[in-house]
Structure 1
């Protein structure tokens, strides 16, 4: 399913990974459009995240990884750390203050990957940036 992801005024094409993470994709798609704010990660490397606190998407692990590639979006469904969405823009070893985490790879950006480092720079040096996921 095609998506559009807008971050800090930049638009990216994306797709839901419905074959690899069907439950996560279904739970997320039911919440579209999904608006939030990204901030730079603290422990994981080159990524931004949307802290979601106690939000419950009602999914467990599927298609999970601790090492997403640039442009891959993960949903950490909660457990030892809070629920979150993470977007890799460079090298990532997904972790929290509790240690290594794994999140469900459920969205892949398909355009504009060369602009992702700018997203990281903005979040690191200018603070929280708006993000919106919507049907493409």
Structure 2
């Protein structure tokens, strides 16, 4: 089992499991990007979630282990198509969507430590704006 550390805003630290059995292509491609640094902002249409907009970025994967209804801490990678490429990070109740309607993303990471911090992280991103996010191998 491979684990990642996810740090949001320098304050919120999570341990997440790569879902290698369920999303092997997404996990392998994402691992090649580590350490991965971006900005995370609050989602517009997906409920209690934050997202990392990636525009036209291509990870080179298709759909696998995809869902529209992630649980808190189930991190999705959307490879693009109907909407721009993105990573969705739910901190509460979420239904993955864009201005074009409901989407499905690859569930490739699951937060296994730090769940109690998720709602506060979401409120911080909502009220204080974009935050730095870093994904690192443990």
TM-score by length of 2: 0.97
C-alpha displacement of 1:8: 1.4
- The residue aligned with 2:84 is 82
Moved over 6 A (4+): none
Residue number in structure 2 paired with 1:117: 119
Where does residue 29 of structure 1 map in the other structure? 31
Measured against aligned partners, the alpha-carbon deviations of 1:14-73 in whole angstroms (never above 9, x if no partner) come to: 110000000000010010001011100000100000000000011110000000000110
1:75-118, Cα deviation, whole Å (9 max, x unpaired): 00000100000001000010000100000000011111011011
CA RMSD of aligned residues (A): 0.6
Q: Pick which of 1-10 and 51-60 moved more.
A: 1-10
Q: TM-score, normalised by structure 1?
A: 0.98
Consecutive unaligned residues of structure 1, counting only runs of 5 or more, are none
Number of positions where the alignment pairs a residue of Structure 1 with one of Structure 2? 136
Return 49-58 or 9-18, whichever deviates more.
9-18
Mapped partners of 2:25, 2:114: distance in 1: 27
- Extract unaligned runs of 5+ from structure 2: none
The answer to whether the aligner puts 1:131 opposite 2:116 as a matched pair is no
CA distance in 1, matches of 2:120, 2:69: 20
